[in-house]
């Protein structure tokens, strides 16, 4: 272990280094830690991407995604990780840092972590995403890996003095605390944000010359709530063109995405879905050309979309996610350009149809996790969704959303009956102030300081017997009727 004056030796472990949010976090962490004097090894199931830095990255094939295996294979993987780390550093590392270890992308990982912890290794488990949060297939894969329900319970969420959990938001921290993780072993580590290097400007764009341009930087999967983007276009289309950046790659989501393409054509809405498909335009060029960034997503982890655009001088408008944005407010960053709901009269759809959809969604959701549906679940969901005879557009599935869009398209006077969100762009002064604050609170230097503090606490931890959280307690935090949504059904 590192002594005074020696570099702290950290092993970062992940399934792959493909393009994506977690890989960006790993890249930022590695760069910040190296600049702060840490010695860092990244162990990945796949090589670094072509053109990316590969120094300090070693491949262990057994880390790749996998849904099957055995305790013997898991023990073999643990030995391989230890061997690579000790060969690289010349001794044992000070800290093992696993990313998304409980997501069941590789069912061996929880057993590997438990083995390391039982040997007294100091471990950080950084959870970006949860199998309990609308990913029942992942959850079932992990449960089926073990020989019995008991071993699943004892292995998925290990707890001990030498095991620390890091979340990317306060909500997830609160959920793990409620499930039984001790406060001293819980940490919130927001993602590091690097300023976007934008060189283009709105007046230079080759389209939308007579309107504002709102770019939605997203791949159009269901939880990104594209129906609501079409609603904004229906309301503000006379002065704004809207566009998403990418179409979904997964065939499972492409069919729904194609339905929205047809709806755009049917109602002649100023929306382009997948404007950057086929590398037609560069992402940074689109950001620079935009007048603002829009988000209608109904679920996020850290909430990068709320912060990153400001670093390029672009305001963000769209749907608020209070579970996520409360962290920003606690750090002094108040985003006033967001709306909490778009209220639609229940009668436009019909109360009975909505109740039937809620009950059907709840039954499928609870059945997927093999959990009994609570008796008051439908009532609890209705109370969360419906306020004074109006329901939030963002909790509805595509069929209901499309009905509403067609109704408003046919009779625009009905727009006066819904809760129209403001199209309120920020002043240059407000943009500059938020850009500065984001750099101070979420920049690489702040991130490095947080990581240094985290690792210091982990290294100073005592070693204790490894126990476990009750898996149903973690699941209960996410499988709450009031938190569910027809777009994630």
Give residue 326's pLDDT band: very low, low, confident or very high (50, 70, 90).
Answer: very high
What pLDDT, in 10s, does the model give residues 354-374? 999 999 999 999 999 999 999
pTM of full prediction above 0.85: yes
Kindly state whether residue 332 falls inside one of the protein's structural domains: yes
Kindly state whether residue 398 falls inside one of the protein's structural domains: no
Dist CA 95 CA 453 (whole Å): 13
Which alpha helices (DSSP H) does 331-427 contain, by range? 351-368, 377-385, 398-410
- Tokens 């599935």, located at residue: 397
Q: For residue 54, what pLDDT is reported? A: 67
Q: For residue 53, what pLDDT is reported? A: 57
Picking from 279, 286, 312, 277, the residue whose alpha carbon sits closest to that of residue 216 is 286
One domain, residues 164 and 301: no
One domain, residues 226 and 171: no
What pLDDT, in 10s, does the model give residues 283-303? 999 999 999 999 999 999 899
Dist CA 279 CA 349 (whole Å): 40
One domain, residues 133 and 222: no
Least confident of 302-306, 374-378, 443-447, 458-462: 443-447
Task: Quickly count helices (H) and strands (E) in the chain.
Answer: 17, 18
What pLDDT, in 10s, does the model give residues 40-79? 999 999 987 665 556 789 999 999 999 988 889 999 999 9
One domain, residues 40 and 125: yes
In sequence order, what are the residues at sequence separation of 6 or more whose Cβ sits closer than 8 angstroms to the Cβ of residue 394?
A: 225, 228, 296, 298, 319, 341, 342, 485, 487
394, 342 in Cβ contact below 8 A? yes
One domain, residues 20 and 166: yes
Kindly state whether residue 115 falls inside one of the protein's structural domains: yes
| CATH code of residue 311 | 3.40.50.2000
Q: For the chain, what is the domain count?
A: 2
Q: For residue 234, what pLDDT is reported? A: 97
Last residue of a domain, one of 410, 433, 456: 433
One domain, residues 225 and 121: no
Give residue 150's pLDDT band: very low, low, confident or very high (50, 70, 90).
Answer: low
Task: Please give the structure tokens belonging to residue 165.
Answer: 């959990």
267, 234 in Cβ contact below 8 A? yes
For residues 81-87, give the mean pLDDT.
Answer: 97
In sequence order, what are the residues at sequence separation of 6 or more whose Cβ sits closer than 8 angstroms to the Cβ of residue 258?
A: none
One domain, residues 136 and 118: yes
What DSSP state is assigned to residue 203? G
Least confident of 145-154, 165-174, 335-344, 352-361: 145-154
Q: For residue 149, what pLDDT is reported? A: 63
One domain, residues 329 and 424: yes
For residues 315-326, give the mean pLDDT.
Answer: 96
Give residue 151's pLDDT band: very low, low, confident or very high (50, 70, 90).
Answer: confident
What pLDDT, in 10s, does the model give residues 158-215? 999 999 999 999 999 999 999 999 999 999 999 888 899 999 999 999 999 999 999 9
What DSSP state is assigned to residue 42? E
Kindly state whether residue 178 falls inside one of the protein's structural domains: yes
What pLDDT, in 10s, does the model give residues 85-140? 999 999 999 999 999 999 999 999 999 999 999 999 999 999 999 999 988 999 99
**Residue 445: pLDDT over 90:** no
Kindly state whether residue 447 falls inside one of the protein's structural domains: yes
One domain, residues 188 and 211: no
For residues 221-244, give the mean pLDDT.
Answer: 97
451, 329 in Cβ contact below 8 A? no
Q: For residue 192, what pLDDT is reported? A: 87
Going from the C-alpha of 175 to that of each of 93, 98, 106, 183, 365, the distances in angstroms are 30, 19, 23, 12, 19
Going from the C-alpha of 72 to that of each of 68, 108, 374, the distances in angstroms are 12, 10, 39
One domain, residues 285 and 147: no
One domain, residues 169 and 241: no
**Residue 390: pLDDT over 70:** yes
Kindly state whether residue 63 falls inside one of the protein's structural domains: yes
More confident residue, 251 or 396: 396
One domain, residues 133 and 236: no
Dist CA 488 CA 87 (whole Å): 45
Which of 345-359, 415-429, 441-455 tops mean pLDDT?
345-359
| pLDDT, the chain, mean | 93
Q: For residue 385, what pLDDT is reported? A: 96
Kindly state whether residue 297 falls inside one of the protein's structural domains: yes
Helix (H, G, I), strand (E, B), or coil: what is residue 336?
coil
63, 77 in Cβ contact below 8 A? yes
Q: For residue 56, what pLDDT is reported? A: 87
Residue 259 belongs to what domain range? 202-340+420-433
Please state whether beta strands 163-167 and 186-188 pair in parallel, antiparallel, or not at all (unpaired): parallel
Kindly state whether residue 371 falls inside one of the protein's structural domains: no
Task: Please give the structure tokens belonging to residue 35.
Answer: 């600049």
**Residue 3: pLDDT over 60:** no
φ/ψ region of 159 (left if φ > 0, alpha if ψ in -120 to 50, else beta) reads beta
């Amino acid at each position: 272990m590192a002594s005074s004056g020696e570099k702290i030796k950290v092993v970062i472990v992940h399934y792959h280094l493909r393009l994506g949010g977690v890989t960006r976090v790993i890249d930022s962490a590695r760069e910040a830690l190296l600049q702060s004097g840490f010695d860092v090894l990244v162990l990945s199931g796949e090589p670094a991407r072509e053109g990316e830095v590969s120094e300090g990255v070693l491949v262990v094939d057994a880390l790749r995604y996998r849904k099957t295996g055995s305790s013997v294979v898991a023990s073999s993987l643990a030995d391989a990780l230890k061997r690579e780390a000790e060969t690289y550093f010349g001794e044992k590392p000070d800290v093992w840092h696993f990313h998304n270890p409980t997501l069941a992308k590789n069912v061996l990982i929880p057993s590997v972590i438990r083995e390391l912890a039982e040997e007294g290794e100091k471990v950080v488990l950084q959870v970006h995403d949860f199998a309990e949060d609308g990913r029942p297939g992942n959850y079932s894969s992990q449960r089926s890996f073990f020989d019995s329900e008991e071993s699943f319970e004892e292995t998925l969420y290990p707890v001990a003095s030498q095991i620390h959990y890091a979340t990317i938001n306060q909500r997830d921290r609160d959920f793990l605390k409620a499930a039984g993780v001790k406060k001293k072993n819980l940490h919130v580590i927001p993602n590091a944000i690097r300023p976007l290097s934008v060189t283009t400007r709105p007046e230079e764009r080759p389209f939308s010359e007579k309107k504002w341009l709102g770019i939605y930087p997203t791949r159009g999967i269901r939880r990104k709530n594209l129906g609501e983007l079409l609603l904004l276009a229906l309301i503000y289309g006379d002065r704004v063109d809207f566009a998403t950046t990418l179409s979904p790659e997964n065939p499972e989501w492409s069919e729904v995405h194609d339905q929205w393409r047809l709806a755009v054509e049917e109602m002649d809405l100023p929306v382009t879905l997948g404007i950057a498909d086929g590398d037609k335009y560069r992402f940074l060029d689109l950001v620079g050309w935009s007048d603002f960034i829009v988000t209608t997503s109904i679920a996020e982890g850290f909430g990068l979309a709320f912060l990153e655009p400001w670093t390029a001088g672009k305001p963000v408008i769209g749907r608020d996610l209070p579970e996520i944005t409360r962290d920003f407010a606690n750090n002094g960053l108040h985003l006033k350009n967001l709306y909490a709901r778009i209220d639609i009269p229940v009668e436009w759809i019909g109360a009975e149809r909505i109740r039937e959809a809620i009950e059907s969604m709840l039954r499928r959701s609870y059945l997927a996790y093999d959990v009994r549906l609570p008796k008051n679940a439908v009532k609890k969901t209705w109370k969360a969704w419906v306020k004074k005879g109006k329901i939030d557009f963002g909790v509805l599935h595509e069929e209901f959303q499309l009905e509403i869009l067609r109704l408003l398209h046919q009779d625009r006077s009905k727009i006066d009956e819904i809760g129209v969100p403001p199209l309120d762009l920020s002043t240059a002064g407000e943009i500059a102030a938020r850009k500065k604050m984001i750099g101070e609170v979420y920049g690489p230097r702040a991130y490095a300081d947080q990581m240094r503090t985290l690792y210091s606490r982990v290294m100073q931890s005592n070693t204790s017997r490894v126990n476990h959280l009750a898996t149903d307690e973690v699941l209960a935090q996410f499988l709450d009727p009031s938190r569910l949504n027809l777009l994630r059904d």
